[in-house]
Each structure stands twice: as C-alpha cells, then as structure tokens.
Amino acid sequence: MQGIFDKYDVGEFYDEMFSSDGAVRPHYRQLLERFAEMDPADFDRKRALAERTYLNQGITFTVYSGDEGTERIMPFDLIPRIIPAGEWSVIERGLVQRLNALNQFLHDIYHGQRILKEGVIPEEIVRSAKHFRPELVGFDLPNNIYIHVCGTDLIRGADGAYMVLEDNGRCPSGVSYLLENRQAMKRVFPRLFSRHAVRPVGRYPQELLAALRHSAPHGNPDPTVVVLTPGIYNSAYFEHSFLARAMGIEIVVGPDLVVENKRVFMKTTKGLRQVDVIYRRIDDDFLDPTVFRKDSVLGVPGIVEAYRAGNVSLANALGTGVADDKVTYYYVPAMIRFYLGEEPILPNVETYLSAVASDRTFILENLPRLVVKAANESGGYGMMIGPHATKEEIEKFRAAIIADPRGYVAQPVISLSRSPCYVDGAVEGRHIDLRPYVLSGEKTVIIPGGLTRVAMRKGSLVVNSSQGGGSKDTWVLDEGEAPC
C-alpha cells in the first residue's frame, strides 16, 4: 500500500518521519499519503527534473581530476524534512539566545574581558585560541555586533532532543542551497505546498541586506554594500554570486578594491567609488596580505587599516573565529548563564577538553568510542570518529592530542537522527543535521528551518558536502495550521 516506503526500516535510530513502532508521525502523515502513490519510476523522473534544473542553472561545485574539472551538483533528496511549529519556536528561541551570548562574549573579550577576570572561562583558553586577535582589543564595532551571520549546526540524538553541535561564526555557507532546494521542490511537487502550510524562506537575502546595511560605519543610512568573494574557482562561488544578485549589490574580488586614505574603494568604469560594508566570504587570514598571510592574493592590502579606522565594516567582523573554536564551544552554556542570566534552551553535546588533565586521561583511554575534533577545523576535516576509525588513525590522533592538548576536543558518538531518503529505487534512512542561518542586525532574525544536510553514504555520520553529503528541503509548518 505504501509503495516506495514499503520496506522502510526505522532501525535503531531516532527517525524524523516514523516513531520506533513504525507509525508515521502526525506532521508527516499527509506527505506519506502523497508519496505512497508514487512508484520508483515516478520518483526517478521527478529527481531527474530537479537535477537538470540545478545543472542548467550552474548550481554546481567543481571536482578536479586530471587536467580538467567536472561539475557536479550537490545531491538533493526529494523527501522534505518537516519541523512542526512548536518544535521550531523552541529552536528559534534557543538560537537567538545563543547568538546574543556569543556576540556579547566577543565584545567582552575584545574589551573588558570580564568573563575571563571572573574566572568563568580560563584566560589561557582565549589567549591561546588560534583565531583570537589581540590587536583588536579595545576596537569598537557599530552596534557591537561581531557575528552578523551565524550558521549553527543542530543535531538530534537517540531521544530526538535537539543539541548544538557547533557554531559557525566566520563565513558559514550553504544558504543558497536552502533557497534553491525550496525552488526545486516547488517546481517538482507544486501541489504539496498547497496541502501544507509551509513557512516561506525567500526573504533571506533581504534580511541579510538589512543586517549588512545596519552595520554601516557612522550609522550611514545609505551605505554601499558589496560581497567579497575569492573568485569563480571557489567552491562556494555560486552562492556568493547568488546572494549578490538576490540583494542587488555588487560582487567583488580582491583586485577590484583599493585602499586610499584608510578608505576602501572599488574600481569602476567611472573612477573610484567608496565601499562602506563588505560581506566578505574570505577568511580573516586571507583578507589583508599586509597584516595576515603575506602570500594571499585574494585579499586587499590595507583593508584592515581602513577597518580599524572605522571607515568600512566587515561582516562577519574580524576576530570572530575565536567563537568557532571547539574549545570555546564548550563554554557557550556558561556564557549564556553569565551574560544573560538564563539557562541554555538548546544544550551542547557533552564535550571533553583534552586541555583539562582529567578529561584528557578519559579521552586517551576511550579513543575508539569517541569522536575527536581538531579545535579549529571545519568542513568535516580534522575529525576522527572512533568506532569507524582504523588503528592507525586512532594512534595518529592520540599522538596529536598529546602533542597539542589545546588543539582537540572529544565527544561521545551521537547517533544522529535519520530521515527517509530516496536511494536507488527505495527509501532508506540516512543521518541528517540542521543548519539554521541566524542574522544579527537591528534584531535577530532566523529564516524558518535551515539547511538539512544528509550523509548520503549508508551508515555515514558526516554530512559535509566536501565529504559526499547532500541536502533536502526543510519545512517549518505554520503556527495554527493543523499538520494533518
């Protein structure tokens, strides 16, 4: 009766669509009714339609092999992930709370350092953070906002409770997939949306532009805002140009900009034009070869001087990488209590710091059962999943932890929740996470849902696109509408 869902096995995991006894969860009931009518041939046709759209639009990343790059699309699964209104409102409050605390933390460590002085976070942890920029201490930002765009990765464990896996406060990417996935779903399953009250996501670029304009120096009411990209060969270039188009602003590369008299200008056909706000998609290290990496050809010489003179705003601000540090992550719940006097709404994943002697002993004794992460890597790199690791990998990480205890953290293996995904003619469970995008401007704004990333390989827990991950559309249902 249920067609492609006939042989679906919930397995030992928290399943987004079915409870452990195999009953469909109420907010997925209608979707199941629709999909149950479909056979694999229908589904393959729909999927080919979606994939062709991505390819023709050039929503691709390049995989290099030999002398020529081939363009691939990020795998897209057509079965949406659905979040009921009540669940979302808790997530939303938790994310706002978390980003407020992180912004206050950044302001604090670049000013009075109260949280260090009061011993809530050991001073050494911040001082030794790879992305802490002591030269920015005492520097004031418009509205005290450091992280304008935050990508917070959420996961659900065996009991279905949401937890924060990490905060991405530098240049989180992926939001264009969120928006394009919705477009693709509307094209492929137009009638599904009229049966569900799905909250729209399309206003993200306007909200982003508002947040960027809000960050302009000296409260300039009509700032010139640009997107700074490393260029067309960057794997996220599609997203950079997508956002520039959707915001109606220029996209620039480093050589388009020049600094004169501590002001940033772009080179136009009509001469130099001053730039006020830069949504930069280049990491701190590559931004200014006169200050950071000398070999960077992506950056703009002198831009940091202009920034420090208060003549240009950068989003995200310089020095936010310290909040991405996985050791800092450990202290976010403490920050929430310290700055806001509230209990964290979204908990962290249980984390052990190898910088702390007792934790280190525990980590080294339990490596095959833990996930070990380098404190300053992202994109699924610098990570070991104990139960899936070889003996050599485990020993490699053991040596690395002993050599640099500050550089690693460990967490228990979380069996991420699974969502039904269409794979080779049938539906199977795959592990997923959720990356909502949180914008800090005049107020904190979150587009309903986020990017649901899928570990497409059977059994895999790694959802990053650089590691073969895919994505699916994420539906937040509207309040007041009965989900079934």
Partner 1 sequence: MLSRVADACFWMSRLIERAEANSRVLDVNIQLMLDLEDGNGSTARQHWQPILATLEDQELFNELHDGITGDAVMDFITFEKSYANSIVSCLSHARENARMVREQISSEMWEHINRLYLYLHSGASRSAFIESPIDFYRSLVDSLHSFQGITVATMTHGEGWQFLQAGKFLERADSTSRVLDIKYHILLPSGEQIGGTVDSTQWMAVLRSCSAMEAFLKISHGHVTGWEVAQFLILHDTFPRSLRFCVDQLDASLHCISGCDRGHFSNDAERLSGMLRSNLDYATIQPIFQEGLHQYLDRTQLSLIEISNALVKTYCTWLDRT
- For residues 254 and 151, give the distance between their C-alpha atoms in angstroms, rounded to a whole number: 24
Kindly tell me which of 96 and 258 has the beta carbon lying closer to partner 1: 258
Letters for 216-235 (x = contact with partner 1 by CB under 8 A, - = none) are ----------------x---
Q: Which residues pair with 265 in a beta bridge?
A: 258, 274
User: Least Å distance between CB 68 and partner 1?
Assistant: 9
* Pairwise CA distance, residues 128 & 331, whole Å: 15
Of positions 31, 101, 188, 253, contacts partner 1 by CB under 8 A: 253
Nearer to partner 1, 229 or 417 (CB): 229
Instruction: Specify the DSSP class assigned to residue 197.
Output: -
Asked if 251 interacts with partner 1 (CB under 8 A), we say: yes
Binding of partner 1 by 208 (CB under 8 A): no
The two three-digit tokens of residue 410, written as one number: 């460990």
Q: How far apart are CA 311 and CA 314, in angstroms?
A: 10
Among 79, 252, 323, 346, contact with partner 1 (rule: CB under 8 A): 252
Instruction: Using CB under 8 A, count the residues that bind partner 1.
Output: 22
Nearest by Cα to 199 from 288, 109, 340, 80: 80
Task: Report the residue number, 205 or 483, with the smaller CB distance to partner 1.
Answer: 205
CB 60 within 8 A of CB 54: yes
Query: Is the bond preceding 348 in cis, omega lying within 30 degrees of 0?
Result: no
In this structure, the number of other CB atoms found within 10 A of the CB of residue 276 comes to: 21
Rounded to 5°, the CA angle 54-6-157 comes to: 70
Report how far residue 215's alpha carbon sits from residue 320's, in angstroms, rounded to the nearest whole number.
Answer: 15
| Smallest separation, CB 73 to partner 1 (Å) | 12
Measured from the CB atom, the residue of 85 and 272 that comes closer to partner 1 is: 272
H or E segment and range at residue 49: helix 40-57
- Residue 274: CB atoms within 10 A of its CB come to 13
Give 143 or 241: the residue with its C-beta nearer to partner 1: 241
Minimum Å gap between C-beta 186 and partner 1 is: 16
Pick the piece of the chain touching partner 1 (CB under 8 A) from 11-19, 20-28, 82-90, 248-256.
248-256
Whole-number Å distance between alpha carbons of 448 and 438: 10
Residues in 48-67 that interact with partner 1 by CB under 8 A: 55-58
Which one, 169 or 299, has the nearer CB to partner 1? 299
Least gap, CB of 228 to partner 1 (angstroms): 12
> Residue holding tokens 């937890």?
163
d(Cα 145, Cα 100) in Å, to the nearest integer? 9
| Residue 232 CB, nearest approach to partner 1 (Å) | 5
Of positions 268, 274, 361, 466, contacts partner 1 by CB under 8 A: 268
Measured from the CB atom, the residue of 120 and 266 that comes closer to partner 1 is 266
Piece of the chain touching partner 1 by CB under 8 A; list 76-84, 250-258, 425-433, 461-469: 250-258
| CA atoms of 467 and 106, how far apart (whole Å) | 31
187 is an interface residue for partner 1 by CB under 8 A:
no
Considering the rule CB under 8 A, would residue 376 count as an interface residue with partner 1? Answer: no
- Minimum distance of partner 1 from residue 265's CB (angstroms): 9
360: region left, alpha or beta (phi > 0 left; psi from -120 to 50 alpha):
alpha
269, 294, 391, 482: which one contacts partner 1 (CB under 8 A)?
A: 269
- Which residues in the 125-154 window bind partner 1 by CB under 8 A? none
Q: At what angle do helices 40-57 and 175-188 cross, to 10 degrees?
A: 130
* Site for partner 1, rule CB under 8 A: 55-58, 232, 237, 241, 244-245, 250-253, 255-256, 258, 266-270, 272
